[in-house]
Every structure is written in C-alpha cells, then in structure tokens.
Amino acid sequence: MAKYGPAGRSEAVWVTTIAVAGAPTATELNAGVDLTPSIRTLPDIPRSGNTIDVATLDSKFEARQVGTRGGDVASVELLRDTGTETALTALAEDTAGFLVLARKGLATAGTFAIADVVDIFPATVLVVADGNPGRNDPDFVTIEMVITGTPTRNFAVTA
C-alpha cells in the first residue's frame, strides 16, 4: 500500500447542516465552506479516553474497564487573506456545524462524490484567536472547536 502526504491531497470543509447526523450526502458536503485553500495543516484533533476503576478488595490488581472518550478541543489554523475570508467568516465563535475531513483526498479534487471517504466531527467553534506571526511568517488565526458528539470515521459518502 502506498503511503501519502496530506498536502495537495487532503480536503477540509465546514458544513452547517447534515440532515442525517453522521451520514452526509455529496450534495450537503459540496454546499459546505471549503477550508482547504485557507487551512495550513490537517486540524489537530486530540482523542483521549478515560478508564473506570473496577478494582475490588479481594485483589491487589488495579483492574480497569473502558470508560468515556472524547470531550477534547480541536484546533484549526487558518491563514489570513487581504480579500474576502470566507472560511474565517464561516467559523465565527459559537457557530455549530460539522468539520469534515477527506484525509486521503477525493476522487475528483474539490468535489465530493459517492464513495469518497470522510471523517465527520460535530463541533461548535469555541474561540477564534489571532496568531502571532514572526517577521517572515504569514498572518493566521487559530480556531478552537469543541467536538460536541461522536465522530463518524471512514464514512463512504452516499447519494
């Protein structure tokens, strides 16, 4: 299996409405705001988990079971532009929607189609923080999003 780099391949969109949670159609995804031309790298989406202590008095072993997952804050870095900033406007604080990533790309770049594989993160924008670029760096903002529900991974787009 060939390895790949995300630059020039991966795509990211912000979709405000998906009729069936976790199961977007190609039409819904194509109606989203394309973040790809503004986003600097793939978003940092931490994935943490918790355990449940189920140890009992009759054993010295600290037994654990799987507990809850998630509840993390995702971070997206967008480059600023001197013109219209569609991506930044779409990601205003308190905006709820879905961050959709096509990590391996799309069959046709820039257009979602049936069978394209995506990850879907229900999210609400928490903070839009101005970057602090150096002298020879582009201006940017860091957008923090609260992941508000269970992500859908490796979803093959339908209809």
Q: Let me know: does 9 contact 105? Beta carbons within 8 Å.
A: yes
Strands 96-102, 11-15: parallel, antiparallel or unpaired by DSSP?
Answer: antiparallel
Tell me if 6 is assigned to some domain.
no
**pLDDT value of position 116:** 96
Comparing C-alpha atoms, which of 107, 93, 112 is closest to residue 13? 112
Tell me if 5 is assigned to some domain.
no
**pLDDT value of position 5:** 87
Tell me if 106 is assigned to some domain.
yes
- pTM (global) more than 0.85: yes
Give the residues of the chain that fall short of pLDDT 70. Answer: none
For residue 55, give its domain range: 11-156
Tell me if 40 is assigned to some domain.
yes
**pLDDT value of position 48:** 87
Tell me if 4 is assigned to some domain.
no
**14 SS3 class:** strand
**pLDDT value of position 26:** 96
Give the pLDDT confidence of 104-150 residue by residue, as tens digits.
999 998 999 999 999 999 999 999 999 999 999 999 999 999 999 99
Tell me if 2 is assigned to some domain.
no
Tell me if 3 is assigned to some domain.
no
Tokens of 44: 């940092």
Comparing C-alpha atoms, which of 111, 122, 105, 112 is closest to residue 14? 122
Total domains in the chain come to 1
**pLDDT value of position 66:** 95
The residues, any chain, with a CB within 8 Å of residue 72's CB and separated by 6 or more, are 45, 46, 47, 48, 147
**pLDDT value of position 22:** 82
**pLDDT value of position 113:** 96
Tell me if 66 is assigned to some domain.
yes
**pLDDT value of position 21:** 80
**pLDDT value of position 122:** 95
DSSP 41-88: SS-B----EEEEE---TT-SS--EEEEEE---EEEEEEE--SS--HHH
CATH number where 53 lies: 2.40.30
